[in-house]
Structure 1
Amino acid sequence: MAIALYNTLTRRVEPLEPMTPGVVRMFVCGPTVYDLAHVGHAKTYTQFDFLARYLRARGFEVTYAQNITDIDDKIIRRAAESGRDPRDLAAEFENAYRQDMDALGNTSVDVYARALDHIDEIVAQVQALIERGHAYQLDDGWYFDLSTYSGYGKLSGRTEVAEEDSVARIDENDAKRNRGDFALWKARKPGEPFWDTPLGPGRPGWHIEDTAITEALFGPQYDLHGGAVDLIFPHHEAEIAQMEAASGKEPLVRHWVHTGLLRVDGAKMSKSSGNFLTIRDALAMGDYRTLRYAFLSQHYRSSMELSATVLEQARGARRRVENLARQIDRSIDEPTATVDVAETTWATMIERLDGDLDTPAALAALFEYVREQNRSSHRPGPSAERLLQRVNDVFDTFDLATRTVDDSEIEAALARRTELRKARDFAGADQIRDALTGKGIVIEDTTSGTRWWLADAVSGG
């Protein structure tokens, strides 16, 4: 179980060494549920779904938790615009998000933890910060005092908010002691949801919900925290400051893992640019396995481009594996050397995934295996089936079962074509070939017989 991942905190690839050997407690920042989730969310959560699947495949016991931000300025504003109760709006979009995750095959999360279900824990954590001298009160709520915590900036190398920090939910108040101080508890405002607490009537700040939730689930320290790179500063810096200041223990998290961002059609995604894609928009363009493949064919730390061309390439790559799966003959009694090739391929993929989850390199090993099998004069057998199933258990990018055409009908048509060619009825043979081509089936005449496979453009799954 020697797995190494890039650790944003230490800025190097290093072994994943959980606090309890063989047990990984993993938390990933979830969505703020005020609208439908978009393909940027899809990339991040698919890549963390893969990480959780892979850790389990390698023998780790994983508890994977995500928070659901269901009380926040954005939710309150959107609810006010539509004349709705913020809780109802949040519940609707949480359900939509959960449906989208299921549709993507992202099924690895064990706990979805709502902020609204952890108000008591949030209040208790703010009280701990007050008691330890890390928080102060202004007219609009309680703030974290950055001057009392010397470790701020150790994750990102930054301490100041910059212009590009558009998702930071920056808390503005001219009376703050330090420019970067952030809200822990927001005082009640007219028309907004609030809770009567020892902190005064109000609601949570954004950063505090994550550490209150993880403390409730995992305690003050745990193994792995994930999110997209745009959350490193100030959100994840704020999490570290809150929990380490409240508990007096460090590090909050042993391993910080961040995914690269997504661009759509050559630009940063935005509604004003006309390239904003919800997950539902993307799934309408193709099946979920193609979208998963597009994300997992890129290294998780890399930014990536999503376009119709990228999806078509992903679809074509999938078909190469699925077409090999079609040729498998389970009845073959394979020689040891053939079995060894499949086992060696799997071992190579494991080695590459153990090295900072290098999915592109792992898939390259798989496609080398596919090429060799396609060059062989023999059909693939049980060892190929075992290999493809192992791969798909973690990737979930290949349809190894669904048949979009009837194999027996194709084999019968090819047999008829062979007879026509022997009888030198080439026109009749060409008619059969053209009919198969029209169904998206490619045929190849070789010295050992005729082979067929589905064209890359055929959809399914």
Structure 2
Amino acid sequence: MAIRLYNTLTKRKEQFVPSAPGLVRMFVCGPTVYALSHVGHAKTYTQFDFVARYLKQRGYQVTYAQNLTDVDDKIIRRAGELGVDARDLATEFEQHYFDDMAALHNTNVDVFGRAHDHIDEIVAQVQQLIERGHAYRLDDGWYFDLATFPGYGKLSGRTEVTAEDSLARVDENEQKRNPGDFALWKARKPGEPYWATALGEGRPGWHIEDTAITEALFGPQYDLHGGAVDLIFPHHEAEIAQMESASGREPLARYWMHTGLLRVDGAKMSKSAGNFLTIRDILKVADFRTLRYAFLSQHYRSSMELNDTTIEQARAARRRVENFARLIDRDREESTAGAGLAARVREDLYERLDDDLDTPGALAVLFDYIREQNRREEPPGRAALELLSDLNDLFDAFNLDSRSGDAEIEAQLARRRELRQARRFEEADEIRKALQERGIVIEDTPGCTRWWVAEEVTPA
């Protein structure tokens, strides 16, 4: 089955066909590095890490690029508040971002493009827009003239800013030709970083950074553009207007993917609401595997609630898979029936994932398989392990290899069996109680004694 993705541009699912067979050029809007990344970033970048992993596992050669906004109003304002150099501040929080992504195992980005490193390309793209009649100059810099681009709004279906939009980067100037016109190049202001260029002394606007970087990396058109849903308007609309006006070619990206927003304790996350959580905050109460499972158990386009309940549900679901993996006899060849079942399950899993990356549907198939296997008398074998391993290459949410403490637990269970056979039931119950206190659940069946972890024995 071919991969089908929901394309925000066309508002429908489409078969994924990159422009060059077997090659995928993928760009996702990266962070503005002026503060610690929050859990909304964790959700978006974990889900796009999954996209890159899946495309690679399906045989594509993927180049995954992210930009890093390291010159921007927010950075300048924060640096002024702290009394530090804006470039030093950006460099510090860029490294914090890298550390946070590594902690979450989001490791599939191939290229990071910094605005500082692409000033020449930014200036060249603004010059293209000027030459083509899409830009005009005011006293505070160069602006994009939306009246020259009739296609503005084709991604979002609208053209005007509303009260629900983030207004932090709407460029205000009463002299603008159109209310939605946005800055391409901002004229130098006292105390702000600037570059001396053919456009005058100044620095880039926010939107132009992304298209200049992607043009440098991929050319004027590429396969897949991603980001959170709150970037569709006006940011992604501005990107389309800039690049398609500068190049005269469309579309900028063949497919547009957007992740749903994350809500914390029932509300949109914000510092003023007191529910702002950094990635470092959440990693203090949940390990990376639990967080990855929480994010990937939801469809990427869905909004998601993050609270103690969703974290505990993710942790419990993880354990079900890991406990099943503990039952696998890794030296045992699967029976013909067992191998055939694993093959059918694999086919069903990938059919779900091929359908717009339906991760919840794929996990439902996995848990149906685990329930069926747990009803069998014989333990699962290598085919089950291979199935879990391949799936975990994508999700990276399960600890399939750690069996530390298993030998000691098995020894205690063997001792418990001896005590029960000797009818020394009180002593046998003491072993059960001691294991229960460590989160080990014991189930006695006619053929054997099974055990699994209800709580973590050791931190993941």
What band does the TM-score fall into relative to the shorter chain? Answer: over 0.9
Residue 177 of structure 2 aligns with an amino acid whose one-letter code is R
Alignment pair present for 1:417 and 2:416: yes
Question: Quick check: 1:75–1:90 contact (8 Å CA) kept in 2?
Answer: yes
Confirm whether residue 408 of structure 1 aligns to residue 407 of structure 2. yes
The DSSP-based 3-state class of the residue aligned with 2:401 is coil
Identify the residue that residue 361 of structure 1 maps to in structure 2.
361
| Displacement of 1:104 | 0.3
Counterparts of 1:408 and 1:104, CA distance in 2: 30
What's the offset of the Cα at 1:458? 4.7
Distance 2:167 2:390 in 1: 38
- In the aligned structure 2, how far is the partner of 1:71 from the partner of 1:402? 43
Which residue is equivalent to 1:278? Answer: 278
Q: Residues of 2 paired with 1:97 and 1:55: CA distance? A: 24
Residues 1:459 and 1:292: Cα distance change in structure 2 (over 3 Å):
farther
CA distance in 2, matches of 1:40, 1:407: 37
- Name the counterpart of 2:373: 373
Q: Distance between the aligned counterparts of 1:228 and 1:383, measured in 2?
A: 37
Tell me what 2:213 maps to: 213
Partner of residue 435, structure 1: 434
Query: For residues 458 and 133 of structure 2, what CA distance do their matches in structure 1 show?
Result: 61
Larger mean CA deviation between 152-161 and 1-10 belongs to 1-10
Q: Is the 8 A contact 1:315 1:456 kept in 2?
A: no
Paired with 2:167 and 2:401, the residues of 1 have a C-alpha distance of 42
Alignment of structure 1 residues 53-452 onto 2, 5 Å:
53-166=53-166, 169-403=169-403, 405-452=404-451
Equivalents in 1 of 2:333, 2:200: separation in Å?
A: 74
Q: 1:368-393: per-residue Cα shift (whole Å, max 9, x none)?
A: 11111211111121111101100100
More off after superposition, 389-398 vs 375-384: 375-384
8 Å CA contact retained: 2:419, 2:425: yes
SS for the counterpart of 1:74 is helix
Match in the other structure for 1:23:
23
Letter in 2 for 1:409: E
Paired letter, 1:441: I
SS in 1 for 2:10: coil
Question: Whole-Å Cα distance in 2 between the matches of residues 334 and 141 of structure 1?
Answer: 69
Count of matched residue positions in the alignment of Structure 1 and Structure 2: 460
Q: d(CA) in 1 for partners of 2:432 and 2:167?
A: 56
- In structure 2, C-alpha distance between the alignment counterparts of 1:196 and 1:393, rounded to whole Å: 47
Please tell me the residue identity of whatever aligns with 1:322. Answer: E
Q: CA RMSD, aligned part only?
A: 1.0
Give the equivalent residue in structure 2 for 1:41: 41
- The equivalent residue for 1:460 is 459
Q: What is the CA-CA distance between 1:11 and the residue it aligns to?
A: 0.1
SS of equivalent to 2:195: coil
Partners of 2:231 and 2:53 lie apart in 1 by: 23
Instruction: Give the superposition deviation at 1:95.
Output: 0.3
SS of equivalent residue, structure 1 residue 431 = helix
Q: Deviations over 1:37-72 (max 9, x none)?
A: 000000000000000000000001100000000000
SS across alignment from 2:196? coil
User: Matches of 1:160 and 1:98 in 2, distance apart?
Assistant: 35
**Whole-Å Cα distance in 2 between the matches of residues 337 and 424 of structure 1?**
39
**Preserved contact between residue 144 and residue 183 of structure 2 (Cα < 8 Å):** yes
Task: Give per-residue Cα distances to partners, 1:264-299, cap 9 Å, x unaligned.
Answer: 011111112221100000111111000000000000
User: TM-score, length-normalised on structure 2?
Assistant: 0.99
Distance 1:36 1:5 in 2: 31
CA-to-partner distance for each residue in 1:299-336, whole Å, 9 max, x for gaps? 00000000011111100000011111111212223211
Aligned equivalents of 1:214 and 1:271: distance in 2?
32
Tell me the CA shift for residue 460 of structure 1.
Answer: 2.9
Scaled by the length of structure 1, what TM-score is found? 0.98
Residues 67 and 213 in structure 1, CA contact (< 8 A), matched pair in contact too: yes
User: Equivalent residue of 1:196, what SS?
Assistant: strand
The residue matched to 1:295 in structure 2 has which SS?
Answer: helix
Between 36-45 and 337-346, the greater mean CA deviation after superposition:
337-346
- The code of the aligned residue for 2:136 comes to Y
Instruction: Return closer, same or farther for 1:87/1:167 CA change in 2, 3 Å cut-off.
Output: same
Distance 1:255 1:159 in 2: 20
Would you say the 8 A contact 2:7–2:256 is kept in 1? Answer: yes
How far apart, in 2, do the equivalents of 1:458 and 1:222 lie?
47
Output the CA distance in 2 between the equivalents of 1:267 and 1:53. Answer: 31
The list of structure 1 runs, each at least 4 consecutive aligned residues, that deviate by more than 6 angstroms after superposition, is none
Q: Does the CA-based 8 Å contact 1:168-1:235 persist in structure 2?
A: no
Deviates more, 1:168-177 or 1:131-140: 168-177
